[in-house]
Structure 1
């Protein structure tokens, strides 16, 4: 979906045999989310490329950056600064490598709360797979005048002031052959002015 953006990801010919219990436990204890470009990240990056005014000359914080796809798209689309935030140090390392591949500079942070100063836009893709992350939605609208969320997992998304603005089809790369229901990605936007209407 993103011919102008390059990422180092898990090879498409990765081993697909059944894993023994020990190997499965290691993966579950330390999932390497950043080796994939998840469907929602691709869709949000594409949306930013199509709407560069959303990020142009703005300070953007990409929450749960993973491989860095959305952060890199924002930088390529003209953001003044992009802060790629993830609690996984390997995700930040992957994001740094992918940013270098694309010739952009990002600020990296492993702590959302440690980022100081005003943020003009928060971007969020593929972090609502765990319903325990839903309270972040309220925190984002308190922190920033604008928030963009891309998600394919929450089917009953009803979190005012977030409003559905787009819906697109995509898949994770390399393709995990996920259920068709996870290939439909919704984009939601919340803006401060909507909070006072």
Structure 2
């Protein structure tokens, strides 16, 4: 299936969650090189009835927004291509696929977008096509075989049930980067805080300002 086919499929998936909603190919404000199929802001300027709101909350189309942490990681990768050049890279919880796409454009040998949400994998493929990037998709960690050089996770801790992943990730890759704007008590052993950057989810959802502060953490591989 070509890029346009993925985009059409993506719109159908979006409208299943947001009846009448539209997607638009948009350039990211913080990284103008990248374009993603994201929710048209006018879609969310409409007042939905309670039934539609309930449907959206039951299966949120997270991939239709580019979250602050994903933007920060993508920008860092494009500014520092040596992080990924010639390496096998994994974007865990890829959502829109922005991090995997940035890695591919920065010269990764293989860039894998992994997400449990099948719609997110369609989004990653559509967005990769829009940027002329080659990525691979994986529906779960268990579907990825062989060594991984660098693993990226952007805002994967929004769900508290994902916190135990932090101790597992350094067993899966030589280097792990976690970008997070949600957890304010991050204290996982083995991770070092590297930087803090500001970014806003795009399209802007008017979130609490604290969610615009993205912390970057790095960990090195540990033995299984």
- The two structures have a TM-score, normalised by structure 2, of 0.84
Please state whether the residue corresponding to 1:120 is helix, strand or coil.
strand
Query: Aligned equivalents of 1:84 and 1:22: distance in 2?
Result: 32
Choose from 90, 96, 107 the match for 2:125.
Answer: 96
The answer for unaligned runs of 5 or more in structure 1 is none
Quick one: which of 160, 167, 179 aligns to 1:150?
179
Q: Does 1:52 align with 2:81?
A: yes
- Match among 46, 57, 65 for residue 28 of structure 1: 57
Say what the alpha-carbon RMSD is for the aligned residues: 1.2
Equivalents in 2 of 1:133, 1:187: separation in Å?
17
CA offset at residue 19 of structure 1? 3.5
Structure having greater relative contact order (Cα 8 Å, sep ≥ 6): 1
Shift of 1:168: 0.4
Alpha-carbon distance in 1 for matches of 2:147, 2:174:
9
Q: How many residue pairs are counted as aligned between the two chains?
A: 194
TM-score by length of 1: 0.95
* 1: CA distance, partners of 2:36 / 2:215: 23
In structure 2, list runs of 5 or more residues that go unmatched. Answer: 1-29
From 43, 68, 71, give the equivalent of 1:39.
Answer: 68
1:85 aligns with 2:131: no
C-alpha distance in 2 between matches for 1:31 and 1:158 = 28
